[in-house]
Amino acid sequence: MKVIDLNSDLGESYGPWTMGDDQAVLGIVTSANVACGGHASDPETMFKTLTLAKQKGVSVGAHPGYPDREGFGRRIIPYTLGEIERFTAGQIGTLLGIAALAGTRVTYMKPHGAIANQAMDDEGVAQALINATKAVAPELPVLAISGTVLEHLARKNGLEVYSEIFADRAYTSKGRLVSRALDGAMVTDADFAAQRLVDFLKTGLMPTLDGAPVKLEAHSICVHGDSAHAVGMARKVRAALEGEGVTIRRFVGG
């Protein structure tokens, strides 16, 4: 029987500003990538998100990104590799501290947005993320986009690695996510997304916008929590997978 995790990027509110419906999404997914104060979040938001995740039995991962709330961490900022190491270490450490207060623990690391996209192919950026993780919490597995430099380098550096694919993002024939600046980058049709994942789990092949399907590995499927269709998408995906006999279980701590 196939087993898969569902993850979502959560805890992305800030002060009085609310992003997404974390409570609803936490009732559907099995892992939550919690913003650490870089692209979004603050100590109160982190604490609330971690507490909710604990109540729901959902695993939590550190979700560091560029310190760029205005751009939601989706812009490449010209930090040096040393600076990337330091802000990543600081963000992971912050979430570890808040998790201790919330009586739970962080169980993995998944980079966010632009820096995650860079780490797909940029060895320097990928290594900086790995160095920060190893320095602060070497026991944390890395949740990496399938088929990327980060996935390869993390294994090479002795970290436990799990691979993810995306329910709501389109792919290129090179196995990369289509840029959000391009038409078709976001998958908004929940029925289409669910069927695409059902087919993927049977074949291991992901359809692409510009060519033949690409072979990917997956321990976890991401449904973004910041979109208007997030809750409906997550529900549809989970129901479709379970309808095919797939067990939905967190990839760490399950």
Domain assignment present for residue 104? The answer is: yes
Domain assignment present for residue 220? The answer is: yes
Closest CA to 165 of 146, 187, 185, 186: 146
pLDDT, position 1: 57
CATH of the domain at 119: 3.20.20.370
Contact 127, 154 (CB under 8 A): no
Report pLDDT digits (tens) over 3-55.
Answer: 999 999 999 999 999 999 999 999 999 999 999 999 999 999 999 999 999 99
Tokens for 247?
């067990």
Domain assignment present for residue 73? The answer is: yes
Domain assignment present for residue 213? The answer is: yes
Considering its fold, how many domains does the chain have in total?
1
pLDDT, position 228: 73
Domain assignment present for residue 79? The answer is: yes
Closest CA to 188 of 220, 236, 248: 236
pLDDT, position 226: 77
Contact 162, 144 (CB under 8 A): yes
Helix (H) or strand (E) segment spanning residue 201:
helix 190-203
pLDDT, position 227: 74
In three-state secondary structure terms, 168 is coil
Domain assignment present for residue 254? The answer is: no
Q: Which residues of the chain have pLDDT under 70?
A: 1, 254
Domain assignment present for residue 181? The answer is: yes
Q: Which domain holds residue 95?
A: 3-248
d(CA 207, CA 199): 10
Domain assignment present for residue 253? The answer is: no
Contact 51, 34 (CB under 8 A): no
